């Protein structure tokens, strides 16, 4: 068994290659290129921080789905419902702890946000396990059926949200100390956007450490690259599938919490509204690549912010243009991982 474990570890380490620095240079290059067009350095910093915050929230919502795509070869059009469900799960915390949101205390406000995240991840993880068992598992290997069935699951789940919380939009206030902005001279940075950047970076670092420094991470990477080999070495790839799907659902719930406080309004369709953007980010980053998803999210968000400031009429198509240019340059995305 020890030999088998060693072989599995070796197989998992095989996909590791030298870091491709060219795609990583796109983000700082884009930011520096935008500076002379924006003009005022203070405006540029404000737009850049806002873009980074938006990129972090997109990454949180998309990172789980890119792992599900890469490892399980599942086209889950129902991913958006986990974003919505995570957003609505904040009500389970905000109800009994409303005083914490109104308190003028950074500690209580951040503790409230952390509790909302943990509860949302727990709720969406459990629902994700049921979703995978009942809806996704019977259609493994058939992309057309996956699209139809997961879309059906999305509709059912959205109606369930309406039945539980009602169809009317529900306002949720930001915690007291997360409102307003930091003002440094002419530079204005919204406090919540700074928190969003910190949360996104923390999750990204944690995912990178998990994927590259733990046994389960090595198996996931090996499963993305060569699932047949992992199965042949005696590991139950189906259990790995379930754990990845649950983790992806939980990450979507985390993203839903951050997105809910950003919008400050809950609607059942709020997750589906961002799914086009999520799929664009996954395609740009490369199937199954967490790093590619991270870079792609920041790239898309920064382009949207800069273009929205310089040429508002082009902002709606900026994401499509970025995706087209990236795919012309690298048809498999910035950091392709999965061979399928």
CA 199 to chain centre: 12
**Backbone dihedral region of 286: left (phi > 0), alpha (psi from -120 to 50 degrees) or beta?**
left
Per-residue pLDDT tens for 171-181?
998 999 999 88
Per-residue pLDDT tens for 203-227?
999 998 988 888 888 887 777 667 7
What pLDDT is stored for residue 163 in this prediction? 93
Burial of 15 (0-12, 13-18, 19+ CB in 10 A): middle
Is 5 inside a domain boundary?
no
**Count of H helices and E strands in the chain?**
16, 4
Where in the sequence is the domain holding 279, given as residue range(s)?
Answer: 21-329
**Backbone dihedral region of 176: left (phi > 0), alpha (psi from -120 to 50 degrees) or beta?**
alpha
Are 291 and 26 in contact by the 8 Å Cβ rule? The answer is no
Per-residue pLDDT tens for 40-68?
899 999 999 999 999 999 999 998 888 88
| Averaged pLDDT score across all residues of the chain | 87
Is 226 inside a domain boundary?
yes
Per-residue pLDDT tens for 263-299?
999 999 999 999 999 999 999 998 878 889 999 999 9
Count of domains for the chain: 1
Given pLDDT bands bounded at 50, 70 and 90, which one contains residue 316?
confident
β-pair type (187-190, 265-266): unpaired
Is 253 inside a domain boundary?
yes
pTM of the entire structure?
A: 0.87
Is 3 inside a domain boundary?
no
Name, in order, each residue with C-beta under 8 angstroms of 82's C-beta and a sequence gap of 6 or more.
64, 124, 127, 128, 249, 252, 253, 256, 271
Is 60 inside a domain boundary?
yes
Is 38 inside a domain boundary?
yes
Is 65 inside a domain boundary?
yes
303: domain CATH number? 1.10.3470
Task: Measure the CA angle with vertex 87, ends 272 and 91; round to 5°.
Answer: 145
What pLDDT is stored for residue 217 in this prediction? 80
Distance between CA 160 and CA 150 in Å, rounded?
15
* DSSP codes joined into one string, 225-237: H-HHHHHHTT--H
Is 214 inside a domain boundary?
yes
Distance between CA 7 and CA 77 in Å, rounded?
35
């Amino acid at each position: 068994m020890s030999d088998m474990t060693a072989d599995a570890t070796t197989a998992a380490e095989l996909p590791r290659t030298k870091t491709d620095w060219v795609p990583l240079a796109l983000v700082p290059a884009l930011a520096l290129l935008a500076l002379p067009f924006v003009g005022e350095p203070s405006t540029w910093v404000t737009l850049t921080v806002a873009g980074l915050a938006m990129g972090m929230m997109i990454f949180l919502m998309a990172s789980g789905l890119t792992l599900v795509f890469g490892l399980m070869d599942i086209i889950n059009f129902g991913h958006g419902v986990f974003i919505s469900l995570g957003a609505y799960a904040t009500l389970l915390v905000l109800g009994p702890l409303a005083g914490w949101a109104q308190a003028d205390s950074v500690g209580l406000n951040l503790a409230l946000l952390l509790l909302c995240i943990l509860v949302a991840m727990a709720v969406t993880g459990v629902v994700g396990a049921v979703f995978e068992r009942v809806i996704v598992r019977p259609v493994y290997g058939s992309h057309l059926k996956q699209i139809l069935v997961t879309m059906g699951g999305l509709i059912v789940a959205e109606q369930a949200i309406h039945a539980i919380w009602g169809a009317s939009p529900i306002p949720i206030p930001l915690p007291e100390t997360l409102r307003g902005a930091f003002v440094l001279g002419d530079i204005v940075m919204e406090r919540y956007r700074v928190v969003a950047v910190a949360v996104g970076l923390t999750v990204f670092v944690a995912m990178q450490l998990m994927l590259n420094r733990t046994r389960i991470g090595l198996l996931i990477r090996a499963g993305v690259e060569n699932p047949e080999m992992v199965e042949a070495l005696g590991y139950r790839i189906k259990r790995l599938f379930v754990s990845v799907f649950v983790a992806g659902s939980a990450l979507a719930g985390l993203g839903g919490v951050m997105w809910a406080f950003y919008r400050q309004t809950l609607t059942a369709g709020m997750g589906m509204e961002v799914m086009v953007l999520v799929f664009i980010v996954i395609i740009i980053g490369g199937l199954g690549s967490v790093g590619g998803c991270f870079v792609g999210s920041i790239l898309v968000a920064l382009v949207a912010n800069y273009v929205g400031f310089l040429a508002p009429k082009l902002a709606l198509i900026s994401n499509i243009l970025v995706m087209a240019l990236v795919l012309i340059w690298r048809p498999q995305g910035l950091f392709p991982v999965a061979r399928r």
